[in-house]
Structure 1
Amino acid sequence: MAKYKYITEYEIRASVKMIYPYLATASGLQEWLADEVNINPDKTLTITWDDGDTYLAKVLSNRNNHHIKYEFTNTKDEEGNCNTLEFKVDYNELTQSSFLRIFDVSEMDDEEELKELWGHLVEHLREILGA
């Protein structure tokens, strides 16, 4: 099955330094994204969602307080491509807001469902941040 790339952006009234730990640490991800996130001895993450699905993720790229990209290694398709999830955070001094861009590459291709899912998750993140 082909991968579908969903890209969205949200304004969050918090500093990049407040947001980034929620994107790049197991404890931060567990607070808003998944039910359980654990770091394995090989530095990969085991991520479990509320439906019981568990995925292994490794960090493909990381620039502190700017972006992080995860590859879900147990989601390879026929061409060898894995699902990926990338977060990029930029700060706008004029509005004093940060903008979180999400790049979700997976088999899920229902744009309305993805919009609802990410909207709910980011709203939960905003609540945690008090933004």
Structure 2
Amino acid sequence: MAMPATGAKHRFEMEYAINASLKILFPYIASASGLAQWFCDDVRLDPDHRLDMVWDKQSHYAEIATQRPGRSIRYVFLDENKRPLSDASYLDFTLESSRITDEVFLRVTDYSEHLDEQERLELWEGLVGKLREQVGG
């Protein structure tokens, strides 16, 4: 089996049950201050409404591509000059609630160059664990 070429993107999708309401959770996935509490070291919003997400003192620029208030948001990553990329990496966060069980789920779709599925699974388990600590769920 041939290995994908460097730069090839892979889609990773997982659902996590979180013991908190949609109203409490949404600001954690859709605001700079909320994201900075669990997702990255810091998040700044520039005057053009682009996000500067900081991990390990490195900036990663993104913009909101789509948003359904209270439900979902997609961040599309930009190049270092804050310009769109073709086949850009993106993160999609969707909140869903079960009418039957009243459980709330966060579905994460991570479309990026990460190759190791196990590494990505562990990364998201850790991030969602931090989110659960923030919301008490």
- CA displacement, residues 20-77 of structure 1 (integer Å, 9 cap, x when unaligned): 000000000000000010000000000001x2331111000000011100000117xx
Deviation at 1:96, TM superposition (A): 1.7
Match of 1:37 among 9, 30, 43: 43
RMSD: 1.2
Q: Where has structure 1 moved over 2 Å in runs of 4 or more?
A: none
> Does the alignment pair 1:73 with 2:82?
no
Q: What's the TM-score once normalised by structure 2's chain length?
A: 0.89
**Partners of 1:28 and 1:69 in 2: CA distance:** 15
- CA displacement, residues 58-103 of structure 1 (integer Å, 9 cap, x when unaligned): 000000011100000117xxx8211100000001132221010000
Structure 2 partner of 1:127: 133
> Does the alignment pair 1:94 with 2:100?
yes
Structure 2 partner of 1:19: 25
Q: 1:37 aligns to what SS in structure 2?
A: strand
Match of 2:116 among 110, 118, 121: 110
Identical residues among aligned pairs (%): 39
List gaps (5 residues or longer) in structure 2. Answer: 1-6
Q: What's the TM-score once normalised by structure 1's chain length?
A: 0.93
Matched length: 127
